[in-house]
């Protein structure tokens, strides 16, 4: 994932993972605004005393990625919550979605500050995005008895 995609103001170049994150931030097609918000978020992380904001960003995403989730499967007349492994592309999508949802749900400060806070918490394995991942894992663990139904997926 070290391919060079586009130039950014703060960073010399962005990776595909950063571009994906910027695209998820983007609303109504305003990519330059989304890119500026991402850059300001990295600056907030740096201002908070972290020397490598990109490492914090990558660590946060890595920590939030779920390995298991439950999917409803209709078998016979019943609907069962069947635990399945999450594919790598979906892991990234869910992690980014949960981080941004947590940042958007906070109130009281600018979006880059809220996003920086959530990213730093997630990098330390705390915060609402980590709680969401743990809830999903707990649900998959609780429904482990239906794992044999995954082959009907």
Reported as a single tens digit per residue, the pLDDT across 81-137 is 999 999 999 999 999 999 999 999 999 999 999 999 999 999 999 999 999 999 999
In a domain, 115, yes or no: yes
Query: What CATH number has the domain bearing residue 75?
Result: 1.10.455.10
Domain span at 50: 16-152
In a domain, 80, yes or no: yes
> Phi-psi category of 64—alpha, beta or left, where left has phi over 0 and alpha has psi -120 to 50?
alpha
Q: What is the pTM of this model?
A: 0.86
Q: How many domains does the chain have?
A: 1
Euclidean distance between CA atoms 9 and 39, whole angstroms: 7
């Amino acid at each position: 994932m070290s391919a060079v995609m586009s130039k950014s103001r703060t960073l010399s170049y962005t990776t595909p993972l950063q571009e994906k994150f910027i695209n998820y931030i983007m609303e109504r097609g305003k990519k330059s605004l989304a890119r500026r918000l991402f850059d300001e978020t990295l600056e907030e992380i740096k201002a908070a005393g972290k020397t490598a904001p990109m490492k914090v960003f990558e660590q946060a995403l890595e920590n939030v990625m779920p390995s298991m989730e439950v999917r409803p499967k209709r078998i016979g007349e019943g609907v069962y919550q069947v635990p399945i492994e999450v594919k790598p592309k979906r892991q990234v999508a869910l992690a980014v979605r949960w981080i941004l949802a947590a940042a958007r749900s906070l109130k009281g400060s600018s979006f880059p500050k809220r996003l920086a806070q959530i990213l730093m918490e997630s990098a330390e394995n705390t915060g609402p995005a980590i709680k969401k991942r743990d809830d999903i894992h707990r649900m998959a663990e609780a429904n482990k008895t239906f794992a044999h139904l995954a082959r009907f997926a």
